[in-house]
Structure 1
Amino acid sequence: MSFPKLCKSCLMQHPNGLFHKTNHVYRALSQLQHHSSLNGKQTLRHRNVRHYSDSSDNKSKLLKNVRGVNLDTIGSWNNKLSLPILYEQSVKKGKIIPRVPLDEIHALSVIGRRKENEDRYIIEEIRPNLLYFGMFDGHGGDFAVDFVSSHMIDPLSFWLTQTPNLSSVLKHSFCELQNLLARHLAYYHLDNENIKTGTTATVCLLRNSTELVVGHVGDSLAVLCRDGKALRLTEDHHPDDSDESSRILEKGGKIICNSQGIAHVNGRLAMTRSFGDIELKSYGVTATPFIKSIEVKHSHDAFLVLGSDGLSFAISDQEIVDIVNQSHNPEEACNRLTDQAQHFGSEDNVTVMVIPLGAWGKFESLPASSTLSFGRMLSNSRNY
């Protein structure tokens, strides 16, 4: 693998004055460049022995002899996944930044006890070092969820050419896509049942492996594992939220609970933000997304999980994190999560996506939450 040439004089003139911070990493990576032909590809594998994915003794000794590089700041060094290095970004940040490869990400969707599967997901690299993850949970038919999941890439790609601000990209993209969906439904499906179709959307943009921005409407979750704990990046847009219900009531809508005590807008929709649901837009149901921006810290962040409400209905955020932490790879994690959700009584479609980050495997020795064990006990007791 050929790395770009960077001179120290350029680093000294860096506007952030990062020369002293990056010099050690620069030396380490520069020396590794000389040895990269050993395996033909520069990758980072977390291991207890603290060396790169190549098992060569020469490369191991090289890294051990590089002074001033705190390899513990990278991640767990207990990772079973090989993650490529973002070379230029590592030099800029003064620490080694792994790239999240698409082939390490895994997603799984199961129909559950429903007749149709109205969940959709997207994993795509829009441009170099900019990943797009999407989770969509449809209702009232699959027209809206198919439309939104297949067309979201278009406004995202356009607005990325207009502004570098990822939050603005998401806000504009959600608004534009809702207008496009509304026009499409009005022209082609005005007298059709598809006019009542809608979908959630949780969209994540990850730039340079460190800048994560999440935009969402509805109740499809995004959870980050940080230091072994669940960090929720989304909020469920339900009518029982005081801020959400206030907007609905101000617009003349009504909050009506069904026989199970679940609040619905005008007795029909169990969420206050969504794509589609055209007849409820005048009552305050909006497609304006909530936006959350966060810096990914690969020494602390093990993975990101996206899921439909078929997952979150049955399993808590911390239980999700615990299950993934006990899994060997994202594929196993997805299988375990969907199985556990159905075992705990989820009757909806269950869709989950697991994106591994730098600290993958670091927290696998932590005990699973007591609530997960208690849930298994309750689930087993239903058979008696």
Structure 2
Amino acid sequence: MASRCFGTRTLTISKPVHVARYHDYVRVASKAGSIRVPLNSHNVIGIVNSRGNRSQQEDFYGFASLSLDPEELRISVKKAHGIDWNPDLVDEMYARQVLYVGIYDGHGGSAVAQYLRQELHGLFESVNKAMIPDLFAWIKEIGGYFKRFKGGAIAPWIDGTNKEEMTLEARATLAFFEVDKNMSSDTAAQTCGATSSVALLQSLDAPSTPFFSAQKLALTVAHCGDTRVILCPTNGSSAFPMTESHHADSHIESIRLRRMMGSSLITDSYGESRWMGALANTRCLGDLRYKRFGITPEPEVRTKLLDGKEWAYMVLVSDGISSILSDDEIVDLARDAANPKKAAERILAFSEELGGDDNATAIVVPLAGWGKIEGPDQTKDLREYRRRQASKP
């Protein structure tokens, strides 16, 4: 169910027409020229996807090598990390190359998650600042919560006069809102939605290197809901989360919603907090009938500058796994695997062994520290205990 990108095609989602340049491979510089390394190789990105015991599959994912404006990338790196990256030090083809990996967890149906699988990577590449004034006018028409919305990361471009390039944060915000706008005429999107986490990896090395061997990487994560992005360090310390679940009672969401909407938090019969008595996640794409009540597609964007050798891999999981396993268990399960595919399989298999029966997806993206984790497996004893408990009648 991967969103695979073959060749060049013309997108008709937004105007002006954009000729897509994304691919399902990364270009790697060599003495012989440019080599194409396929992203669907088990050694490049490892992915497993299971329906569990559910009647339909609502988990999906996508990956692509995007081609983005080097000036936008330069500005983003400067603002996020305070460093001067010079795209002129590498060929433009490599300066534009950004790895995109997305995980999408649907609820109430698969329509929105499937749309994300098919289109979100293309939207990330194709959106531009000229679209922002019209998009913002549409957002304000939603009313309710969005009457007071100021635009967030896209605010500088609302009046259409700002000539500066967008940042990656603005691009992510624009793309996520554009999904809701594009699906606003789809009846299914009124009553179903999807959470989403998108990770963007940009090599800052000169000469250019691919993400899996880069010594310096800029990571940007755009996140809505309770899918997760986790980094595994090579020094044996704890997992490093790049996302926080957007549940109604989480710190960041309770502040946002109470400031703008008052309180509509209701605890259901299982003891779970739900907004409007219906939604566990207060940021998602789709669920359009709830937008005016504070459900937003505005992503929380976090960035991190990575010294490649200090990080072994990045893991993306849906809540079918994170509701069963801790972050540390997830990254420990992946250590010492033969390849990223085997690492992802281990994560899924253990969550199912402990009783996980939901849709579940695990994605493992290797970094320069792959296979170089130091120290003991910190959760091994805990996992063995949980395995024994789960096997008891």
> TM-score under structure 1 normalisation?
0.69
Number of residue equivalences: 283
Q: 1:84 Cα deviation (Å)?
A: 9.3
Query: What's 1:329 paired with?
Result: 339
Judge conservation of contact 1:218–1:237 (CA < 8 Å) in 2: yes
In structure 2, the CA distance between the partners of 1:286 and 1:137, relative to structure 1 (3 Å rule), is same
Within 2, Cα distance between the matches of 1:333 and 1:125? 22
Query: What's 1:242 paired with?
Result: 251
Q: 1:257 Cα deviation (Å)?
A: 1.2
Judge conservation of contact 1:224–1:230 (CA < 8 Å) in 2: yes
Q: 1:286 Cα deviation (Å)?
A: 0.7
1:196 aligned onto 2:191? yes
Judge conservation of contact 2:180–2:288 (CA < 8 Å) in 1: no
In structure 2, the CA distance between the partners of 1:254 and 1:269, relative to structure 1 (3 Å rule), is same
2:57 aligns with one of 117, 133, 136: 117
SS for the counterpart of 2:384 is helix
Query: What's 1:177 paired with?
Result: 179
Q: 1:161 Cα deviation (Å)?
A: 8.8
Query: What's 1:379 paired with?
Result: 390
Query: What's 1:224 paired with?
Result: 231
Judge conservation of contact 2:63–2:121 (CA < 8 Å) in 1: no
1:152 aligned onto 2:120? yes
Within 2, Cα distance between the matches of 1:84 and 1:180? 31
In structure 2, the CA distance between the partners of 1:274 and 1:207, relative to structure 1 (3 Å rule), is same
Deviation string 1:37-83 (CA, Å, 9 cap, x unpaired) is: xxxxxxxxxxxxxxxxxxxxxxxxxxxxxxxxxxxxxxxxxxxxxx9
Q: 1:253 Cα deviation (Å)?
A: 5.4
SS for the counterpart of 2:197 is strand
Within 2, Cα distance between the matches of 1:87 and 1:160? 32
Within 2, Cα distance between the matches of 1:160 and 1:106? 31
Within 2, Cα distance between the matches of 1:203 and 1:301? 18
1:313 aligned onto 2:323? yes
Structure number, greater radius of gyration:
1
What is the identity, as a one-letter code, of the residue corresponding to 1:198? G
Pairwise CA RMSD: 2.4
SS for the counterpart of 2:55 is coil
Judge conservation of contact 1:315–1:344 (CA < 8 Å) in 2: no
Query: What's 2:154 paired with?
Result: none
Within 1, Cα distance between the matches of 2:198 and 2:286? 16
What is the identity, as a one-letter code, of the residue corresponding to 1:243? I
Q: 1:198 Cα deviation (Å)?
A: 0.3
SS for the counterpart of 1:152 is helix
In structure 2, the CA distance between the partners of 1:243 and 1:296, relative to structure 1 (3 Å rule), is closer
SS for the counterpart of 1:207 is strand
Within 2, Cα distance between the matches of 1:257 and 1:177? 30
SS for the counterpart of 2:307 is coil
> TM-score under structure 2 normalisation?
0.67
Q: Structure 1 residues 172-181 or 211-220, which shifts more? A: 172-181
SS for the counterpart of 2:371 is coil
Deviation string 1:177-205 (CA, Å, 9 cap, x unpaired) is: 222222x32xxx2xxx5521100010111
SS for the counterpart of 1:374 is helix
Structure 2 gap segments, 5+ residues each: 1-25, 68-93, 131-164, 204-210, 212-216
Query: What's 2:66 paired with?
Result: 126
In structure 2, the CA distance between the partners of 1:373 and 1:154, relative to structure 1 (3 Å rule), is same
Judge conservation of contact 2:312–2:372 (CA < 8 Å) in 1: yes
1:264 aligned onto 2:248? no
Within 1, Cα distance between the matches of 2:308 and 2:128? 25
What is the identity, as a one-letter code, of the residue corresponding to 1:205? L
Judge conservation of contact 2:189–2:287 (CA < 8 Å) in 1: no
Judge conservation of contact 1:253–1:283 (CA < 8 Å) in 2: no
Query: What's 2:214 paired with?
Result: none
Identity fraction in percent = 31
Q: 1:246 Cα deviation (Å)?
A: 3.9
Query: What's 1:106 paired with?
Result: 46
Judge conservation of contact 2:191–2:288 (CA < 8 Å) in 1: yes
Q: 1:314 Cα deviation (Å)?
A: 0.6
Judge conservation of contact 1:253–1:284 (CA < 8 Å) in 2: no
Structure 1 gap segments, 5+ residues each: 1-82, 89-98
Deviation string 1:11-44 (CA, Å, 9 cap, x unpaired) is: xxxxxxxxxxxxxxxxxxxxxxxxxxxxxxxxxx
Q: 1:326 Cα deviation (Å)?
A: 3.3
What is the identity, as a one-letter code, of the residue corresponding to 1:166? L
Within 2, Cα distance between the matches of 1:242 and 1:308? 21
In structure 2, the CA distance between the partners of 1:362 and 1:160, relative to structure 1 (3 Å rule), is farther
Q: 1:288 Cα deviation (Å)?
A: 0.7
